[in-house]
Amino acid sequence: MLALPCLLLAASVAGRSGDGDTARPARLLLQRDGDGDAELRDPRLDTRVHSRNQADPQQPVHLAQTSFLVKAFKTSFILDLELNHDLLSSDYVERHVDEDGTMVQSPGGEHCYYHGRLRGIPGSWAALSTCHGLRGMFSDGNFSYGIEPVQSSSDWDLDVHAVYRMPSLQLTPRCPECTQNSNDSDIESDTDIAMETFSEGLKRSKRQVRRGQRTVQTETKYIELMVVNDHDLFIQMRRSTSQTRNFAKAVVNMVDAIYKEQLNTRIVLVAMETWSSQNMVSVSDDPLVTLRNFMKYRKESVKERVDLAHLFSGQTFLNRRSGAAYIGGVCSSTRGGGVNEYGNVGPMAITLCQTLGQNLGMMWNKERSAAGDCRCPDPWLGCIMEDTGYYLPRKFSRCSVDEYGRFLQQGGGSCLFNKPSQLLDPPECGNGYVEAGEECDCGSPLECSRAGGACCKKCTLTHDAMCSNGLCCHRCRYELRGVVCRDAVNDCDVAETCTGDSSKCPPNVHKLDGYMCDAAQGRCYGGRCRTRDGQCQGLWGHSSADRICYEKLNTEGTEKGSCGRDASGQAWVPCSKPDVLCGFLLCSNLTAKPRYGELQGDVTSLTLYHKNKYLDCHGGHAVLEDGTDLGFVEDGTPCGPNMMCLDQRCLPVATFNLSACPGSSPSRICSDHGTCSNEVKCICDADYTGKDCSVFDPVLDPDLMEGPERHKGPSGTNIIIGSIAGAILLAAIILGGTGWGFKNIRRGRSGGA
């Protein structure tokens, strides 16, 4: 979809009438004098400052805020930019493979990536890098513009820039199924509506103390991403490691701007690897083959703990799309990744938006768009997860937003809720992170005006404030212990509650694999409840077939029933009798088409007569674009007493080597007063605490929690101590004065005697 636009955009810069222009940008410098403030134009675009990063003296630091003037298409654009502080994590590393095959690694990396807006234009946006000239995109609401240095035969000209123009990426409100971006603050976007609709669908399973409703949609998510640049991309970037890295970071910076605006999700780079000598895996023109090779490399060779790893390739894929990714694979070390074909910053950013979207459970809008369910208003623009669209889209359709919401609600993406605690950038007030020398940091002035500004002034807590923002901060005070800050989304999730002495909600966790769920019909696996009934309902809209169907068909070893293919991928493998419930998924009936994936091959349809009743046995191979066949029983599904499926085999739960949480005895996990989480830690019930939940510590009724109980936490403790000390001092003064007066009275009486 995007390879053609990439070429056309490049052609437009070369001189296509009305679509391309050149500019000599200037950086605006504020000068203060007796006559007032004035902005001077500096043709030097470099945003590096003389001060160096203390952690790495060789690494330059860029201005936190800057402005540029770009004159193009007979218009003067002023871009007001702020450094994107969320882009690089504190543990960010860069490495490349040297000519002798040695992996060279260095901590940190140059950060010159900005987000911002056009001055005086509501609804505008910008995402640019300044490492080598200006590179990225911006929009004035009517048109979207790409900008990059002009590439000469030998190098980049950092003075003259090519500017190309496209129709607005903003979607008009004619489409009821698509997101909108209205400048009218009284009109809600479809994204907001989708979030509200999803939030209303969350059910509360237990009566717990809540301060308003916090949901997986309203909380900001963080994707910790690793990018690997292959050797072909390195060649495209003139064999320059720094150019390759800066290009890749510019792509991620633009994607972060889109995901932040559309999905309340941030992209944080954890590591970047560049194959500067040779490819470390076979990179094929078949993106699915490359994806499988790359994910094997990730599992065996990547040591960083990341939510997703993506390959940026200079290879041209023989595919109608310019990327591939495992659908719903985020948080998985074996399926959490994708591959993306090289293009200009804009087209490649949209490709990455699409593959990341697939990792988050989004499907292509192809069939639903054709049916009119979630079409975009202008087929020339299209939405991000659509096949149509000539220009670069910047919006997700309502269908995509809903799919992301359902994915989170069903327990997917549990790793996305843990905000990185630190940044790679030097400490700076206003970046939204509490760093050394700061008591609080509610973010930029705009962010502080939304939340926390009354409690935090210049990164210092206001009088009597304990906190400024966070899911466990309410009106400058810590929320009480036991207040739910993140709801459980299903039987296999755990509701997180405030501790009473912090503004942060505890990390998002779910139940350890193996817990029973769905009224003891299923088992928890990867944060989701796995049952054959649930899989049949989700894929085909009907319940699972009788066990007799599985015993009859899955032992035959054909397309209509098996335990998968052999190592060659050619022959079907018959199930042994103990494994039949882990093979081909058989349901009581089928819809005309699977709800997910494409139907491949013939549909299995058989009726058996057993014990005076007819049994319907139906199945089909529903294959996703990543090659996953949903027509087989999922891993983690129960297949007998204390038995679970894994790779189409039925194994004892004990063979999964599931760790156990501490408890008062081996048989009493978490002392029967808590839940063992996927981090192998006890999440205690409301009235218990301790590592094994053995300590009874009741939570007081919030209506009765007045006085000292309201002042939990360090600041609250100081208030209590100060109050007690003040009372003692006052009592001492009163008693001292009374004693002194009493003594004088006695003396007076004695003297008069």
pLDDT at residue 423, rounded to an integer: 61
Nearest to 23 by CA among 165, 166, 160: 160
Nearest to 223 by CA among 395, 417, 443, 434: 417
Q: What is the DSSP string of 396-448?
A: -BHHHHHHHHHHHHTTTTGGGG---S-BSSPP-TTSSS--TT-S----SHHHH
| Structural domains in the chain, sorted by start | 3-169+220-360 (3.40.390.10), 427-469 (no CATH), 522-656 (no CATH), 663-696 (2.10.25), 700-735 (no CATH)
> Above 60 in pLDDT, residue 262?
yes
Backbone angles phi, psi at 373, to 5 degrees: -75, -35
Number of CB atoms found within 10 A of residue 517's CB: 21
Compute the average pLDDT of residues 546-565. 96
Q: 614-627 as b/e, with b when 16 or more CB fall inside 10 Å?
A: ebbbbbbbbbbbbe
First to last CA, the chain: 112
Contacts of 186 (CB under 8 A, 6+ apart): none
Number of CB atoms found within 10 A of residue 41's CB: 11
pLDDT digits 0-9 by tens, 625-674: 888 999 999 999 999 999 999 999 999 998 887 778 988 777 889 999 99
> Above 70 in pLDDT, residue 36?
no
pLDDT at residue 702, rounded to an integer: 60
> Above 70 in pLDDT, residue 746?
no
Q: How confident is the model at residue 563 (pLDDT cuts 50, 70, 90)?
A: very high
| Three-point CA angle 191, 193, 198, nearest 5° | 95
pLDDT at residue 102, rounded to an integer: 81
Note the pTM of the prediction, 2 decimals.
0.78
Compute the average pLDDT of residues 384-398. 74
pLDDT at residue 743, rounded to an integer: 38
SS3 160: strand
Q: What is the DSSP string of 634-675?
A: PTT-EEETTEEEETTEEEEGGGG------EEETTEEGGGSEE
Give the residue ranges of DSSP H helices in 519-566.
532-540, 547-553
SS3 132: coil
Strand partners, 104: 96
Compute the average pLDDT of residues 250-269. 93
Half-sphere exposure of 556 (CA within 13 A, CB side): 10
Of 447 and 297, the structure prediction assigns the larger pLDDT to 297
Of 382 and 685, the structure prediction assigns the larger pLDDT to 685
- Are 146 and 345 within 8 A, CB to CB? yes
Nearest to 448 by CA among 475, 468, 427, 466: 468
> Above 80 in pLDDT, residue 698?
yes
- Are 712 and 719 within 8 A, CB to CB? no
pLDDT digits 0-9 by tens, 174-223: 333 333 333 333 333 433 433 343 333 333 333 344 444 456 778 889 99
pLDDT digits 0-9 by tens, 435-459: 778 899 888 888 888 888 899 999 9
What DSSP character marks residue 17?
T
pLDDT at residue 379, rounded to an integer: 59
Compute the average pLDDT of residues 461-472. 91
Distance separating alpha carbons of residues 388 and 391, to the nearest angstrom: 9
User: Residue 90's Cα: distance from chain center in Å?
Assistant: 17
> Above 80 in pLDDT, residue 377?
no
SS3 514: coil
CA distances from 317 to 2, 313, 335 (A): 11, 9, 20
pLDDT digits 0-9 by tens, 116-161: 999 999 989 999 999 889 999 998 887 889 898 887 655 555 789 9
Rounded mean pLDDT of the chain?
81
- Are 354 and 365 within 8 A, CB to CB? no
- Are 375 and 336 within 8 A, CB to CB? no
Nearest to 283 by CA among 236, 332, 333: 236
Give the residue ranges of DSSP H helices in 114-240.
190-200, 231-236
